Amino acid sequence: MTFPVDELRRGYDVDENAVRFSNYFHVLRELVHLSCGWLPLAADFELKYRLGDHLHDDARAISRVRRRLYELRHPSEYPGAPGEELAALLDRMDGAGEPSEYIAIAYGEVKPALLRAIRIHLEGLDPVSDEPSLRLLSKLASNQERHMEELSVAGRRSPGQGIDRTPEDPGALEIRLKAEPRPLRVMARIDAPARDEFVEVTEQGDPFLAAELYVNDPELNHVPVEPEEQRHFFHGLMDAELTAAELMARNSHEYPEMPWDFHVDMARQIWDEMRHARVHHALMPTELGCRWGDYPVTFSYFKSIYAHDLLGRLALFNSTSEQKAMWRHSRRREALTERGQEKVAMVFDYLLADEVPHVHNGVRWGTHLLGGDEAAYRRKVRELREGLDETGAPRQAPSAA
């Protein structure tokens, strides 16, 4: 065996390297935070889906960047606070007034600038002494390329009228190590999420969806088996997945002071729920003979959960709604397998598996909010459940999952 011997590049010194990673950290953190804020307000299903997928990638990347900073410079002050020039760019992204403006800045300016910096970094680093950075950055670059390809806004710049005002190499910008951490701006509360313009939103939702579909009583629960009821059922289920993603997105956005792992857990659940929605979106035309938008939906369930603070949302959604849906999913899977609807039944197998960590998110972070007292959290869940009807929905709101 001949071990390859290459001449070393000089590369970056460790401080320069840490400054570059700190800049990426600030950019990615703001992207995750704002994408979570805007996701519920993005009406177009594909746009909503892409935001959920990409913010999950970016949240995972932040964990790796933080880890690299720890390896390089612990216990120093990195990532500090962004310097003036980066702060100005982030402020501009923060100031977007609607989803399309946010997308134009995030995907038309900020992500391209980030990718530019990563490429410069990859070219300059020494691939042996700094191989951990090489691996991390290669992955980060390919994710950013994919994000920009999937949500292509090239040439569609924000009101800067085509002038690129982003720094040439954001990785080299100054970092203020002694400054206070940059506060994340929380957007105004929303009234309701947004749906594709062709989806009808009504107070009642789809009148076809009967309560028996959502009760957990083995005597009373009804698994949808007829084609017509399956069409309505999966349509309602897709909408429920969107609602779940939107609630988790606002949880992350509205509570920036929560520990970083909370945001990673929310990001993962957002992506899972969006993927579930995508499964139903595909299943409807290919297996069931209907399409997204064929029936009305309602925002009353979203509103009933969103009205609570984070603790209440976790108790009612993750620890109640999702926890109870698990039983129904496994029952649905069994019944559909027996009927020979293998593909449709398989969907529930994955929904069920993904639901386990979602339920755990409730216990984990609800307990955290109560100072680590899990018993107190369980009491809170029991207390809030008393206000629910037999379908598990708060008061009169339909649960639809």
Interface residues toward Fe ion, by CB under 5 A: 241, 273, 276, 322, 358
Rounded to the nearest whole angstrom, what is the least distance from the CB of residue 252 to Fe ion in the complex? Answer: 15
Backbone angles phi, psi at 223, to 5 degrees: -90, 125
Please state, as a whole number, how many other Cβ atoms lie within 10 Å of the Cβ of residue 59. 26
- Residue 57's H or E segment, with its range, is helix 45-73
- Residue 176's H or E segment, with its range, is strand 175-176
- Residue 377's H or E segment, with its range, is helix 374-385
Rounded to the nearest whole angstrom, what is the least distance from the CB of residue 262 to Fe ion in the complex? Answer: 16
Look up residue 17 and give its amino acid: N
Nearer to Fe ion, 92 or 360 (CB): 360
Nearer to Fe ion, 111 or 276 (CB): 276
Rounded to the nearest whole angstrom, what is the least distance from the CB of residue 143 to Fe ion in the complex? Answer: 23
Rounded to the nearest whole angstrom, what is the least distance from the CB of residue 56 to Fe ion in the complex? Answer: 14
Nearer to Fe ion, 38 or 271 (CB): 271
The first and second tokens of residue 90, run together, are: 């982030």
Q: Check: CB of residue 121 under 8 Å from CB of residue 144.
A: no
- Dihedral-angle region of residue 11 (phi above 0 means left; psi in -120 to 50 means alpha; beta otherwise): left
Nearer to Fe ion, 121 or 358 (CB): 358
Place of tokens 């003979």: 289
Nearer to Fe ion, 166 or 318 (CB): 318
Rounded to the nearest whole angstrom, what is the least distance from the CB of residue 355 to Fe ion in the complex? Answer: 5
Rounded to the nearest whole angstrom, what is the least distance from the CB of residue 287 to Fe ion in the complex? Answer: 18
Nearer to Fe ion, 276 or 380 (CB): 276
Nearer to Fe ion, 160 or 357 (CB): 357
**What angle do the packed helices 14-38 and 111-124 form, to 10 degrees?**
160
Q: Check: CB of residue 241 under 8 Å from CB of residue 277.
A: yes
Distances (CA, A) of 160 to 84, 92, 105, 254, 322: 19, 10, 10, 29, 44
Rounded to the nearest whole angstrom, what is the least distance from the CB of residue 78 to Fe ion in the complex? Answer: 35
**What is the spatial distance between Cα 307 and Cα 119, in angstroms, rounded to a whole number?**
44
